[in-house]
Amino acid sequence: MSGSGLWRRSRHAPMARLVGLEGKVVGTDADDEVIALAREDARTAKLDNVEFRRADAAMCQATEEYDLVYARFLLSHLSEPERCLEAMVRACNVKGALVLEDVDFSGSFCYPTCVAYDRYIQLYEHIVNRGGGDPNIGRKLPGMLRKMGAENVLVNVVQPTHLEGEGKLMASITMQRIAGAVISERLATESEVQQIITELNDAAADSETVMSLPRVFQVWGRRA
Ligand SMILES: C[S@@+](CC[C@H](N)C(=O)[O-])C[C@H]1O[C@@H](n2cnc3c(N)ncnc32)[C@H](O)[C@@H]1O
């Protein structure tokens, strides 16, 4: 079983528990820092059946090694997601499971309408597009997976939506993460970015405001 890409709250722990002591999970990410954090989390959780490797997911040469191959929030960042999918399918055993989760930012919403939220979505989409990625890749995944030779492909959509709590801060946190790129690409001035962050925090603090994360497409199938 392999998970391509992971972050602080990655899926390796639930997967490691699912496969039990007889199974093994391999988690990969291209970023050393992410791998170090995941190893630390696994140590803390006393998970002995999970291994982490720094790797470019599209370069994976594994052939029919895993019963399940999974990628979350990875393909939307890649300029050639098909290459990564191809590597995932190759790594999967025949009749093994291929599982993808990825975003569709175009379905994000805030109610009542918040100008700063709409601007944040626009800026995020722009930054991901400029990096060669696709912030709305989710809806394309069933077709892409079929094209790569998967059968019995199914799809589900979930959209975490918040009135309060940590999830409601994701827009502001993400805006802070892309602030440097937004300013250096002259998409907005430093003061406009600061204003957007302040207004996103204000909207998050208002318990009357309903704020969503992007829609998440969950797509799965079997290697033919
Ligand atoms: C939005 S994060 C998602 C992290 C994790 N997969 C999750 O679901 O929580 C995107 C991750 O993709 C990783 N990444 C980007 N390009 C990659 C590549 N070519 N191969 C492997 N990982 C990559 C980044 O380092 C980053 O950790």
Domain presence at residue 145:
yes
Q: What b/e sequence results for 34-73 when a residue is b if at least 16 CB atoms lie within 10 Å of its CB, and e otherwise?
A: bbebbeebbeeeebebbbbeebebbebebeebbebbbbbb
CATH number at 91 reads: 3.40.50.150
Q: Which residue out of 2, 4, 7, 52 has the highest number of ligand 1 atoms within 8 Å of its CB and is therefore the one to mutate?
A: 7
Measure the CA dihedral 131/135/136/139, to 10°: 90
- Beta carbon of 5 within 6 Å of any ligand 1 atom: yes
Write down the pLDDT at residue 190.
98
Write down the pLDDT at residue 93.
97
Domain count, the chain: 1
pTM: 0.93
Domain presence at residue 13:
no
- The answer for residues whose C-beta is within 8 angstroms of residue 31's C-beta and 6 or more apart is 54
Write down the pLDDT at residue 20.
87
Contact, 202 vs 90, CB < 8 A?
no
DSSP secondary structure code for residue 212 in this structure:
E
Give the ligand 1 atom nearest the CA of 73. Answer: 3
Q: Which residue out of 29, 34, 127 has the highest number of ligand 1 atoms within 8 Å of its CB and is therefore the one to mutate?
A: 29
At residue 10 the predicted structure's pLDDT band, cuts being 50, 70 and 90, is low
* Whole-number Å distance between alpha carbons of 91 and 73: 19
Lowest mean pLDDT, pick from 13-27, 74-88, 132-146: 13-27
Domain presence at residue 147:
yes
pLDDT at 192 over 60: yes
Question: How much distance in Å is there from the Cα of 200 to the middle of ligand 1?
Answer: 25
At residue 14 the predicted structure's pLDDT band, cuts being 50, 70 and 90, is confident
Write down the pLDDT at residue 77.
96
Domain presence at residue 31:
no
For residue 83, the enclosing domain spans 56-223
At residue 9 the predicted structure's pLDDT band, cuts being 50, 70 and 90, is low
At residue 2 the predicted structure's pLDDT band, cuts being 50, 70 and 90, is very low
Domain presence at residue 215:
yes
Give pLDDT tens digits for 111-149: 999 999 999 999 999 999 999 999 999 999 999 999 999
- The DSSP bridge pattern shows strands 161-162 and 92-104 to be unpaired
- Beta carbon of 81 within 6 Å of any ligand 1 atom: no
Give pLDDT tens digits for 37-80: 999 999 999 998 999 999 999 999 999 999 999 999 999 999 99
Contact, 214 vs 91, CB < 8 A?
no
Nearest CA to ligand 1 atom 25: 31
Tell me the average pLDDT of the chain: 94
Nearest CA to ligand 1 atom 1: 73
Domain presence at residue 40:
no
Write down the pLDDT at residue 87.
97
Q: How is residue 153 written in tokens?
A: 């492909």
Q: Region 172-199: what's the mean pLDDT?
A: 98
Domain presence at residue 6:
no
Domain presence at residue 112:
yes
Nearest CA to ligand 1 atom 14: 30
The better pLDDT of the pair 197, 22 is held by 197
At residue 4 the predicted structure's pLDDT band, cuts being 50, 70 and 90, is very low
